[in-house]
Amino acid sequence: MVSTPHDAVPAMTMKQPDTPQPVSVSGKSDPAKSSGDAVPPKVDGGGMAPGWGGNLKLRTLSAVPALVVVLAVIGLVPTWAVGVIVLAVGSYGMYEFHDLFSDVANRPIRREWAITAAAVVGLGALVWGLPGLSLSLFASVVGLAAIFWFADTEESVGGVAPVGTAVFGLILIPWSVSHLGLIHGLTGGPGMLALLVVVVSLNDSLAYLVGSLFGSRLLLPRVSPKKTVEGALAGLAGGVAGGLLVWIWLLGFAQSPGLWESLVLAMALAVIAQMGDLMESKLKRIAGVRESGRLLPGHGGLLDRIDGYLLAGPVLYYYLLVSAPGA
């Protein structure tokens, strides 16, 4: 929106009022109707777009060292330590999820209850593995429902919505990311977790970079106003390249996947990671925000960085259980 500067208004001329920005019910700017809907400029000749810099430059340059650190953690620390990290990620992710919907939900569940339930889910997976993950999720859902409904005096259908929102958050975030720790504990798990991390990271980075510089066709504007077809295709190519790199890296190790398995799995994980990204984008549109938080400068909140793992993590874990039952 371009407004006329005050000092440039001629005498006896009425200044046109600024058009107000659409605001959601929560009072937050609606990203679906803001200037962010514009498609990034397409660049002919393959040169850098004039917009290279800011968040694009920071996010691109920080991706490599972040990936190296994560891979070092996967390869060097024991499974229980990975589980502790995953527990912390799931709990903080639930904190962001609660804040996303605290303004738009009717009488939301208290933040400390939601975070405690998320920690219980992660703790169950850390201590007892898959059975513990299932049991702790069930206990957290029952506990949240009991605390909220017995403490609430309003008897109406509206009392179901806060519990439903919290349960959705528990499944989407702590339950989903807990599978990353479970993958690490499988036979050959660290290598497969490294495959997932490299695929999701390259998919995310290349999709963002190519989409920002060369994107011209919107992918799903009703879900995410900035994601482009060009970016999605670049992300898929990056994911397959990541699968090839990890296959080369794991050559000679026991339980290393074959070449075709690595490439097909990488393609599937890249597609599923983009689905998780789009799902989180839709949640942000519902909440009326552009980013899930401000934890990571240039990257937004934690959910903005782990959205690719929310669906891909469980899919990889159960694929490994089915394909190698003795793992």
What are the tens digits of pLDDT across the range 101-141? Answer: 876 666 678 899 999 999 999 999 999 999 999 999 999 99
Q: What was the pLDDT predicted at 153?
A: 53
From residue 32, give the alpha-carbon distance in Å to each of 20, 35, 223, 289: 14, 9, 9, 10
Closest by Cα among 165, 193, 169 to 85: 193
Which residue is listed with tokens 């490994």?
320
Q: What is the pLDDT of residues 61-92, one digit of tens each?
A: 778 888 999 999 999 999 999 999 999 999 99
Q: What was the pLDDT predicted at 155?
A: 59
Instruction: Answer yes or no: are the C-beta atoms of 256 and 232 closer than 8 Å.
Output: no
Q: Where are the domains of the chain?
A: 58-323
- Judge if pTM exceeds 0.75: yes
From residue 185, give the alpha-carbon distance in Å to each of 50, 78, 82, 113, 320: 46, 9, 9, 29, 12
Q: What is the pLDDT of residues 301-323, one digit of tens each?
A: 999 999 999 999 999 999 999 98
Closest by Cα among 250, 227, 274, 255 to 323: 255
Q: Give yes or no for residue 298 having a pLDDT over 50.
A: yes
Q: CA 113: distance to chain centroid?
A: 22
Residue with the bigger pLDDT between 225 and 138: it is 138
Average pLDDT in the 171-197 region?
A: 96
